[in-house]
C-alpha cells in the first residue's frame, strides 16, 4: 500500500489515515490545517487505499448503490498499518473520512495502539455496525465523531440510517467511559471533507493536553 509521509519523521505524535488514491491533494490540505493548529512536531502517514470498499469494510456487505459491494478486508488493511505503529516512544492516532472513519472505529475494537480515533462523517450506516459496537468495546483513549446535518436526509434507505447510527455509536462510547464528542457540521457528506478531518484530529490531539487551538 503506497504511503505519503507528511511532516517531521522524528515527531513523537503520528497520525495514521487511509485515503483514496485518487485524491492525493486531500491529506495535503488537511495536514496544513492540523499543522497550523498543533504547535509541536507532527507526522501524518497517509495510506493510499486502492479498492476503498474492499479494504476498509470490516465484513462483506452487498452494494448500497451501483454494483460494487463491500469486500470485508479491513483486518488485512489494519495488519498492513500496525507495523508502522510499533515505536512505544511515540503516540499514534488513527482517523479518516467516510468509510475510512468507519474503519478507524472498527480498528479501535481490535487494538489498543491508538491513543485517539478521529472519525469524520464515518459510514455508520454500514450493515450491523452499531450492533457490533454493543458487543465489542473500543480501546482508544478518546474518540471524535462528526456528521453533516444533511447526511441522513437521503432517499437511500440504508444510508439514511447514518444519523441514528452516529447517535447510537456516541451513546455506546460514552457509556464505556471513553472521552468522546459528536460534532454536527453544516452540509451533506461531500462538504468540507478536509476541514472535518482536520477538526477531528485536532480534537483528539487536544485530549492529550497538547498545545493546540482550532
User: Would you tell me how many other CB atoms lie within 10 Å of the CB of residue 29?
Assistant: 14
Whether residue 68 contacts residue 41, with contact meaning beta carbons closer than 8 Å, is answered with: no
Query: Residue 62 in contact with residue 18, Cβ under 8 Å?
Result: no
Q: Write down the pTM of the prediction.
A: 0.94
In terms of phi and psi (left: phi > 0; alpha: psi -120 to 50; beta: otherwise), the region of 57 is beta
Q: Which residue has the cell 490545517?
A: 33
List, for the chain, all residue ranges whose pLDDT scores fall below the cut of 70: 22-24, 209-214
pLDDT of residue 188: 87
Digit-coded pLDDT (tens) for 2-26:
999 999 999 999 999 999 876 667 7
| Predicted pLDDT at 209 | 59
Q: Tell me, what's the pLDDT at 24? A: 67
- Residue labelled with grid coordinates 519523521: 9
For residue 27, which of 17, 41, 37, 36 has the smallest C-alpha distance? 17
pLDDT of residue 1: 83
Pairing state between β 60-61 and 70-71: antiparallel
Q: Which CATH architecture has domain 3-206?
A: 3-Layer(aba) Sandwich (3.40)
Q: Which residues are within 8 A (CB) of 70 and not within 5 positions of it... i.e. 6 or more apart?
A: 53, 54, 57, 59, 60, 61, 62, 63, 126
Provide the pLDDT for residue 66: 77
Amino acid at each position: 500500500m503506497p504511503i505519503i509521509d507528511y511532516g517531521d519523521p522524528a515527531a513523537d505524535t503520528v497520525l495514521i489515515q487511509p485515503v483514496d488514491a485518487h485524491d492525493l491533494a486531500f491529506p495535503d490540505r488537511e495536514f496544513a490545517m492540523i499543522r497550523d493548529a498543533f504547535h509541536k512536531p507532527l507526522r501524518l502517514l497517509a495510506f493510499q487505499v486502492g479498492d476503498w470498499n474492499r479494504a476498509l469494510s470490516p465484513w462483506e456487505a452487498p452494494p448500497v448503490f451501483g454494483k460494487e459491494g463491500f469486500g470485508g478486508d479491513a483486518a488485512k488493511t489494519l495488519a498492513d498499518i500496525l507495523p508502522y505503529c510499533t515505536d512505544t516512544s511515540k503516540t499514534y492516532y488513527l482517523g479518516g473520512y467516510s468509510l475510512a472513519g468507519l474503519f478507524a472505529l472498527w480498528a479501535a475494537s481490535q487494538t489498543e495502539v491508538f491513543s485517539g480515533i478521529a472519525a469524520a462523517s464515518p459510514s455508520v450506516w454500514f450493515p450491523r455496525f452499531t450492533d457490533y459496537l454493543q458487543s465489542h468495546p473500543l480501546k482508544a483513549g478518546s474518540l471524535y465523531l462528526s456528521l453533516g446535518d444533511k447526511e441522513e436526509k437521503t432517499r437511500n434507505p440504508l444510508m439514511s440510517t447514518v444519523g441514528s447510527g452516529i447517535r447510537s455509536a456516541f451513546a455506546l462510547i460514552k457509556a464505556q467511559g471513553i472521552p468522546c464528542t459528536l460534532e454536527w457540521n453544516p452540509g451533506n457528506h461531500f462538504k468540507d471533507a478536509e476541514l472535518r478531518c482536520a477538526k477531528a484530529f485536532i480534537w483528539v490531539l487536544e485530549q492529550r493536553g497538547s498545545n493546540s487551538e482550532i
